[in-house]
């Protein structure tokens, strides 16, 4: 459907974590097949949780690119690009882009491509309300111009921290054991699950309200193995949570093994990664250009 356009973004933190993978990237890969026009942006202009050092930042953008390609993002099917390469040199130099808060810059990006659909995790639904308000506000003033973008909620809504299951898994968590990275070694993954917070009941059940820790593991297990939560719980009858942690770790290791080796391969060809981003950014600019021109005309710049 040529009237539909998907847009989503991810911060360049080097490698995605399990929450990014299950809450975003896995759906991004699926959406490439379902929508004709798809844009994925590495959002390097909100560098709060990413390195400020230019060389480090560049490396982490390339690492994220390698990770996204390894997860199945196909540059023939979607436009994979770097946010800062589509913003003018002037915006970057005077820091106008950086002055915008994360949700406002995100809204600007979504509207810049007249996106109609935005896959988001539960943690970003509020940001989407802002985007929708901005689109509607603009349209009220200047006539129907922007589609009001709809959220696509990913099936795996929120992966929780392994150490504090009341919080989401996040790259900025100072507790290194809380977050599983796609590139973690099998030993690291086992260690993190071993240290995962559970409770005093040893049975495996799914009860996200009263048993957040165990339920988080069940949800992760189901998501990486392609089983339903019910099936996972049924298969785990008679297993105590200590042993169960190792089963979940195994399932995660198995899921990430091929991705991890593909990342290692891709990282050896830096030129290829650079060129994917350059081609993607050129395509993204081409889409944004007429929208910018129209907006300037409507607003009377
Ligand atoms: P983070 O929140 O770790 O800084 P980003 O802001 O770069 O990650 O988010 C990239 C995508 O990953 C977003 O679509 C976001 O909703 C999703 N996401 C991030 N953390 C989680 C999580 N713990 N569970 C599910 N989805 C998540
Ligand atoms: Na986020």
Per-residue DSSP letters for 233-291? Answer: HHHTTT--HHHHHHHHHHHHHHHHHHHHHHHHHHHT-HHHHHHHHHHHHHHHHHHHHHH
Which atom of ligand 1 is nearest the CA belonging to 11? 7
| 219-242 average pLDDT score | 96
Which atom of ligand 1 is nearest the CA belonging to 43? 7
> Which of 121, 155, 161, 174, when mutated, tests ligand 1's pocket best, judged by the most ligand atoms within 8 Å of its CB?
121
pLDDT reported for residue 190? 98
Band (pLDDT 50/70/90 cuts) for residue 93 is low
pLDDT reported for residue 95? 58
The alpha carbon of 177 and the centre of ligand 1 are apart by a number of angstroms equal to 17
The alpha carbon of 277 and the centre of ligand 1 are apart by a number of angstroms equal to 21
pLDDT reported for residue 50? 54
pLDDT reported for residue 162? 98
Query: Which domains occur in the chain, in start order?
Result: 5-158+270-299 (3.40.50.620), 186-264 (1.10.240.10)
ipTM: 0.94
Lowest mean pLDDT among 97-101, 102-106, 285-289: 97-101
pLDDT reported for residue 96? 58
pLDDT reported for residue 89? 62
Residue 155 sits at the vertex; the CA angle it makes with 21 and 28, to the nearest 5 degrees, is 45
Tokens (6 digits) for 292: 């910018």
| 77-99 average pLDDT score | 76
Q: Which residues of 32-51 are buried (b: 16+ CB within 10 A; e: fewer)?
A: beebebbbbbbbbbbeeebb
pLDDT reported for residue 163? 98
The alpha carbon of 83 and the centre of ligand 1 are apart by a number of angstroms equal to 17
Highest mean pLDDT among 41-50, 53-62, 87-96: 53-62
DSSP string across 123-155: GGHHHHHHHHHHHHHHHHHH-S-S--PEEEE-S
Q: For the segment 130-161, what is each residue's pLDDT rounded down to a tens digit?
A: 999 999 999 999 999 999 999 998 877 789 99
280 in contact with ligand 1, CB cutoff 6 A: no
64 in contact with ligand 1, CB cutoff 6 A: no
pLDDT of 125 strictly over 90: no
Tokens (6 digits) for 120: 């988001």
| 223-250 average pLDDT score | 97
Q: What is the enclosing helix (H) or strand (E) of 119? A: strand 117-120
The alpha carbon of 256 and the centre of ligand 1 are apart by a number of angstroms equal to 18
10 in contact with ligand 1, CB cutoff 6 A: yes
The alpha carbon of 220 and the centre of ligand 1 are apart by a number of angstroms equal to 15
Q: For the segment 157-213, what is each residue's pLDDT rounded down to a tens digit?
A: 789 999 999 999 998 899 999 999 999 999 999 999 999 999 999 999 999 999 999
The alpha carbon of 40 and the centre of ligand 1 are apart by a number of angstroms equal to 14
> Which of 109, 123, 149, when mutated, tests ligand 1's pocket best, judged by the most ligand atoms within 8 Å of its CB?
123
pLDDT of 127 strictly over 80: yes
């Amino acid at each position: 459907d040529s009237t539909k356009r998907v847009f989503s973004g991810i911060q360049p933190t080097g490698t995605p974590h399990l929450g990014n993978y299950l809450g975003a990237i896995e759906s991004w890969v699926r959406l490439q097949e379902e929508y004709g026009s798809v844009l994925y942006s590495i959002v390097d202009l909100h560098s709060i949780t990413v390195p400020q050092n230019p060389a480090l930042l560049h490396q982490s953008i390339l690492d994220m690119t390698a990770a996204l390609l390894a997860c199945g993002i196909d540059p023939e099917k979607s436009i994979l690009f770097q946010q800062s390469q589509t913003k003018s040199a002037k915006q970057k130099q005077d820091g106008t882009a950086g002055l915008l808060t994360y949700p406002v810059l995100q809204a600007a990006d979504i509207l810049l491509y007249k996106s109609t659909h935005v896959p988001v995790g539960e943690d970003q639904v509020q940001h989407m309300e802002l985007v929708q308000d901005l689109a509607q506000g603009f349209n009220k003033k200047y006539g129907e111009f922007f589609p009001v973008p709809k959220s696509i909620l990913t099936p795996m809504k929120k992966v929780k921290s392994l150490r504090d299951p009341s919080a989401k898994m996040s790259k900025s968590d100072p507790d290194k054991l809380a977050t599983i990275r796609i590139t973690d070694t099998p030993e690291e993954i086992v260690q993190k699950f071993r240290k995962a917070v559970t409770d005093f009941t040893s049975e495996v059940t799914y009860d996200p309200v009263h048993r957040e820790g165990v339920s988080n593991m069940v949800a992760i297990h189901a998501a990486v193995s392609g089983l339903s939560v019910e099936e996972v719980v049924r298969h785990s009858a008679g297993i105590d949570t200590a042993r169960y942690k190792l089963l979940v770790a195994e399932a995660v290791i198995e899921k990430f093994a091929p991705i991890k080796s593909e990342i290692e391969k891709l990282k050896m060809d830096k030129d290829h990664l650079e060129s994917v981003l350059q081609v993607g950014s050129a395509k993204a600019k081409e889409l944004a250009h007429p929208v910018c021109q129209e907006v300037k005309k409507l607003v009377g710049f």
